[in-house]
Amino acid sequence: MELISTDTPDLRYPIGQFSPPDTAVTQDQLDRWIDDIAALPADLRSTVSPLTDNQLDTPYRPDGWTVRQVVHHLPDSHMNSLIRFKWALTEDRPLIKAYDEKGWAVLPDCRKPIGHSLDLLDALHRNWVDLLRGLSGPQLRREFVHPESGPVELAVTVGAYAWHGRHHLAHVERLIEREGWNGRAR
């Protein structure tokens, strides 16, 4: 996976868009991605914990989600991914169910304090990383079928979700920089 390195003012993709590798995923790539997945919960917690409720309720871009919604979105999304991994590991090319992430982001639990979602992300990522580190090459080449994008290999999915976590963390970090919060609640 290579990210499009950019200093673009496009606030939607502060680290660029995910680009699947053109060749087979290497063990080094996979290890870096798993390390990124492992690091996300602590990185997110340290970034958002100093923020006030008013700051958490600030959209990271015009017409974007609030920081609070982003925090709640990450465990929702990554929980869906872990389930997709387990389906692909136990079934032959299962057709997965997509979910309405925008709809989930406006449900009542996404207006609640972020502590439970941070705790869920931490526990979820510990389990997910344990699973990922234990997979063999043939297991990582297994696929699920996404109803919109078609077959997806698990190894590539690891990269997509490593990017996904860094992508949303960067949304919050860039907002903090732009607003001059410097990681401190004001």
Two structure tokens written together for 89: 């590991």
Per-residue pLDDT of the chain (186 residues), as tens digits, is: 334 344 446 899 999 999 999 899 999 999 999 999 999 999 999 999 999 999 999 999 999 999 999 999 999 999 999 999 999 999 999 999 999 999 999 999 999 999 999 999 999 999 999 999 999 999 999 999 999 999 999 999 999 999 999 999 999 999 999 999 974 544
Size (the chain), residues: 186
Q: How far from chain centre, in Å, is Cα 46?
A: 16
pTM comes to: 0.92
In whole angstroms, what is the distance from residue 132 CA to residue 149 CA?
23
In whole angstroms, what is the distance from residue 175 CA to residue 59 CA?
8
